[in-house]
Structures are given as structure tokens and as C-alpha cells.
Amino acid sequence: MSRQTIRQFADSAAGERFFGAYDSLLEHWPPDTETRDVLTEHGTTHVNVCGSPNGRPVILLPGAGATSAVFGSLAWRLGHTHRVFAIDLMGDVGRSVPHADRIASIAALHGWFDAVVGALGVHDFDVVAHSYGAMVAVSRAVAPDSGIARLILLDPTSVFTGLSASYLLRALPLLTMPTERRQRAFVEWECAGIAVDPTWMSVLAIGAADFPRQRPVVPKKPSKVEFAAITADVSVVLAGRSKAHSASNVARRVDEVLPRARVVLLDTASHHSLPLEPADDVARIVIDCLAHPRRSD
């Protein structure tokens, strides 16, 4: 994938619909929101920035296909006390534009993350990450000198346990032949009656069907020894209605490998409803976790 490929997509009917929906989501972000494009060796990373200029920096990492625009409601609340940086993951759908030299290793993934954070001028910061974004964040947090002080994981997938068989079975058609209809049906099945923003659903569905993305690097689940190397204060927010995995199984595994981590069960959320719904509860929990003193060893 190249800049030219992204440009061709942007000029297509599907691209116009995708970026139109993405920009419509941003219209509901705080009025002080600005965008930054950070150049790294792997491409130009798009970051949506808002909040208190002197506030503590917090990085937001979305799940695969969700884009950083999904964090609008949380950005409103965090922006009162924090400087918010929401990142479109490189190689995934969104406004980040990769070079032909894709991120092809964990080392390159970490290098990309560090380059973006460094260009944003933050060195001691917190991270809120959902799903695949949580995989990226944990992978970086177990390595030395991450700079992450607090790590809040929203229903993290394939970090503590694997995905459920039923979820994988339902997801298979999306991997072999993705379409907008299939993506919508999959999310509606997983959310099971929880309403999600229709504009965001368009971003997700069009992105799944038509966006030219690169094959992502998938970090392995850390070992118990690797988990022990994490210096950040960790909170794990689990969706009680998640069909991606069993919340109780994840909670038990967290207790085994990160006994000092905080685990919060959000009964009214599913995996794909986060971080959009339930917005007030998500914001309350995240703000509470960010206020917690950093752990000391």
C-alpha cells in the first residue's frame, strides 16, 4: 500500500463515503480539536488532538478498523484535565498514510509508536487502548523504557486469553470476503441490542469492505515473566456482554499474571460497543483509573 493507493481510494465513491463519515464523527469532538500528521519512516501518522494544553498527556489507541474518531465522547471528558492524543493506527483504516515499507515486526511497531509519541513531545504519559490497540499498548509496555505510566485496557483481545470459538467462527466470513453488510451484521450480533453510532458503523463497515490496509503485526500474548516487567499502573476494563471472549476468564488470567492490576467489569458493554457505549460509564471509569497513583515497586 502506498500514498497513491490511499489517494485513489479517497477519490472513489467508497472513499468519499468513508472519509465523509470519519469527518462527520470529528464534528462531534471538542471545538478545540486539531489534527497533526507525524512523519515516520513507515509513513505519516494522523493524530487528533484536543484538551488542556498543560494537561497530563494521554494517548488513545483504537481497535482495528475503528479509527481514532471513535473516541469523541471520551475525548470531551478527558479534555477537561488532560491533553488528548488519539492516533489512527499505521496501516489500518483512517487518515494515517503508510509508505511501501510497512511495519513488519514487533521492533518496527515499537519504533513507530515511539517515533510518534516523541514527535508529539510527550515522554511520561498514560495510554487508553481498546481491542487491537490494547495489544499494541501492552506489547510496548512490557518492553523497556516505554514511558507509559498508566495503562487502561478496554476489553483487550488476545492479551490475556484468546478469542472465543463462536466469535472467530462469526468473524471468518469477514476475513475471507469482507462486505459492508457482513461487517454490520457481525457488530450487530456482537452488540446484541446495544445501539452504536450509525456514522461510526459506516466508518467501520466501509473501512472493512473497501479500505486498502496493510497486514497488521499481531503481538503475541506476553508471558508471565513479561507481564511482570510492566512498570505501568494497569487497569483492565472488561465488557460483561463481550462475545469476543469470556470476561470472567480474562479477569482470572489478569489476576494470575498481573495481580496488582485493577479489574473493572462493565456489565452493560459489549466488545464492539466500547468505547462508544455506555459513554458515561466508560468516561467515569477511565477518569477514575487515570487518577489512581502510579504503582511503586
Tens digits of pLDDT across the chain (297 residues): 556 688 889 999 999 999 999 999 999 999 999 999 999 999 999 999 999 999 999 999 999 999 999 999 999 999 999 999 999 999 999 999 998 788 999 999 999 999 999 999 999 999 999 999 999 999 999 999 999 999 999 999 999 999 999 999 999 999 889 999 999 999 999 999 999 999 999 999 999 999 998 889 999 999 999 999 999 999 999 999 999 999 999 999 999 999 999 999 999 999 999 999 999 999 999 999 999 766 554
Cβ neighbours of residue 166 under 8 Å, at least 6 residues apart? 243
User: What integer pLDDT is reported at residue 214 of this predicted model?
Assistant: 85
Check if the beta carbon of residue 152 is closer than 8 Å to that of residue 128.
yes
The three cell numbers of residue 62 are: 483504537
- C-alpha 245/C-alpha 264 separation (Å) is 15
Three cell numbers written together for 229: 516487567
User: What integer pLDDT is reported at residue 231 of this predicted model?
Assistant: 95
Q: Would you state the pLDDT for residue 5?
A: 83
Question: Which residues fall within 8 angstroms of residue 35, CB to CB, at 6 or more apart?
Answer: 46, 47, 48, 49, 95
- Torsions phi, psi of 83, nearest 5? -95, 115
The DSSP secondary-structure symbol of 278 reads S
| Predicted local distance difference test score (pLDDT) of residue 297 | 46
- Beta-carbon contacts of 139 under 8 Å, excluding residues fewer than 6 positions away, are 106, 109, 110, 219, 222
CA-atom Rg of the chain in angstroms: 18
Q: What percent of the chain has pLDDT over 90?
A: 91
User: What pLDDT was estimated at residue 3?
Assistant: 65
Report the relative pairing of strands 148-154 and 82-87 from DSSP bridges: unpaired
